Amino acid sequence: MKSTDYQVAGNHYKKLKIQPIEYILANGIPFAEGCIIKYATRWRDKGGIDDLRKIQQFCEFLIEHELSIDPLDTGHSES
């Protein structure tokens, strides 16, 4: 039995064609971005508005981290 064949504490991912963990791992997505995907996928079926707040917080983490690396980065790339 594969780990995606069952789910601990709920069934909010079982109805999906591909589970967030499969997508995240297959694409090498980093932790914070993976959490955003996970919460965006399940918010209607599990965490509700709290999951949307978690997405918002992870976006804030990413923005703060990116700005700490390059404080002059405005988020706009020049073409």
Domain tally for the chain?
1
Residue 74 lies in a domain: no
Angle (CA) 11 25 41, round 5°:
40
Whose tokens are 């039995």? That residue is 1
Residue 11 lies in a domain: no
Residue 53 lies in a domain: yes
Residue 4 lies in a domain: no
Residue 63: which domain range? 21-69
CA distances from residue 54 to 5, 6, 16, 21, 69 in whole angstroms, order as listed: 26, 24, 21, 17, 23
On whether the CB atoms of residues 62 and 35 are closer than 8 A, the answer is no
What pLDDT is attached to residue 10?
A: 66
Residue 3 lies in a domain: no
Residue 33 lies in a domain: yes
Residue 76 lies in a domain: no
What pLDDT is attached to residue 15?
A: 83
What pLDDT is attached to residue 61?
A: 96
What does the pLDDT profile of the chain (79 residues) look like in tens digits? 776 666 665 677 778 899 999 999 999 999 999 999 999 999 999 999 999 999 999 999 999 999 999 878 776 665 5
